Amino acid sequence: MKIAIIGCGFVADNYIAMLAEHTNVELLGVYDRDAARLATFCAFHKLNAYDSLAAVLADERVHMIVNLTNPSSHFEVTMTALQAGRHVYSEKPLAMTMAEAHMLVAEADRRGLGLASAPCNQLSDALATLKREVQSGRLGRIVYAQAEMDDGMVPGLDWYNWRSKSGAPWPAKDEFEVGCTMEHAGYHITPLVELFGPVRRVTAFNACLVPDKGRDIGVSIMSPDISVGLLEFDGGVVARLSNTILAPANRSLRVVGTEAVATLTDAWEYHAPVRISPTGARFWPRVVRKIEKKLSWLLPGLLLGWPAKQVDGRRVPKTAGGHRMDFARGIAQLAAQIESGAPVRIGTALALHVTEVTLALQSPDAAGRAVSMQTSI
């Protein structure tokens, strides 16, 4: 399927790095409203530049738009593309409000177009391994999951100098104003929904604990820099999801069964090890855990865990941020679904549901209130 990218900023380099791996998509060109950025990006990657969104949409060969603009532009760009009869794969969030997200989905459905949203790490090889373990029954009955999406003390890091491969600065103002929950919660919500089905209810707390970050670059909206949510799934599993740009980096997902715990060590790594350790309910596993605990000062925590499960799939190269993530996999999946009837793994229902759960976590009146979800997958 022939595609065009709108938005040539920090994340766009990560997409270009992986697109060539997916032979069912072909990039015809890119557009950014910032002419200097567009020129730099096209020169760096040797790509064709369009001079407007209208010019992209006038190109009859383009079947899908990949929307990599800032969250505040997502609705407008996606809606314009849908109205021009194009399938859309959008960076997250699908939109900044549920009203807008519903409008996009209605437009896509009305026109019979594909619409999906990042993140796509539920398609990672590591998650496939974790899913196999969950479905095998070896963990026992799954009752609980713990998901951490902590990025370190970002306000104090050297983000002023972070650059993508083609030189785009990390969009600090946008990141701080949109907030880490809107930016990152999806990296756990999508895998959790893939494992346990739709979320029925969310109980959340959020706060902005470092309100003075980025004032020197004009940050004015103080979005939560911490959110903690309890997600109740249709099947009865409960997950605790934490998002911060304050706590030490930890992007692990632990799935707790009555017999064993499976740990996906990093949701951003497509080949992260999946480690299985017994819950300690039986004698020998309990002894192993005790030894593990005693020696933990000597050896890095997980080293003593039971052997990691083999994670299959071709290794993904590192992004500028140092993570092995395949950003383009969602585009390829959507294109395959549309063109060849591949099984539906991403799409409007998932994008809408992830947006609703994310907004429930970010909601200004979240504190301790249980919010019933209106969407499902």
Ligand X SMILES: NC(=O)c1ccc[n+]([C@@H]2O[C@H](COP(=O)([O-])OP(=O)(O)OC[C@H]3O[C@@H](n4cnc5c(N)ncnc54)[C@H](O)[C@@H]3O)[C@@H](O)[C@H]2O)c1
Residue 49 binds to ligand X (criterion: CB under 6 A): no
Contact between 69 and ligand X per CB under 6 A? yes
Q: Which of 34, 109, 212, 312 binds ligand X (CB under 6 A)?
A: 34
Cβ atoms within 10 Å, residue 291:
10
* 78 near ligand X, judged by CB under 6 A: no
Closer residue to ligand X, CB minimum distance, 254 or 324:
324
Cβ proximity to ligand X: between 26 and 174 the closer is 174
Asked whether 82 and 113 are in contact (CB, 8 A), the reply is yes
171 binds ligand X (CB under 6 A): yes
Separation CA 118–CA 104 (nearest Å): 15
Stretch that binds ligand X, among 27-35, 57-65, 148-156, 341-349 (CB under 6 A): 27-35
Please give the residue whose beta carbon sits closest to ligand X in the complex: 9
Q: Quick check: 196 binds ligand X (CB under 6 A)?
A: no
- Between 85 and 321, whose beta carbon lies closer to ligand X? 321
Report the nearest approach of ligand X to the CB of residue 196 (Å): 24
Instruction: Return the residue of 18, 105, 120, 168 that touches ligand X, per CB under 6 A.
Output: 168
Which window, 26-34, 218-226, 276-284, 285-293, contacts ligand X (CB under 6 A)?
A: 26-34
Q: What is the dihedral of CA 64, 68, 70, 71, to 10 degrees?
A: 60
Q: Pick from 10, 89, 176, 196: which binds ligand X (CB under 6 A)?
A: 10
Q: Give the residue ranges of DSSP H helices in the chain.
A: 12-19, 35-45, 53-58, 71-83, 98-111, 125-136, 172-178, 180-184, 186-196, 283-294, 329-340, 348-362
List the one residue out of 67, 68, 69, 56 whose CA is nearest residue 28.
56
Q: Write out 125-194 in H/E/C secondary structure.
A: HHHHHHHHHHHHCCCCCEEEEEEEEECCCHHHCCHHHCECCCCCECCHHHHHHHCHHHHHCHHHHHHHHH
> 31 or 270, CB closer to ligand X?
31
Residues that bind ligand X (CB under 6 A): 6-12, 31-34, 37, 53, 68-71, 73, 77, 91-92, 168, 170-171, 174, 183
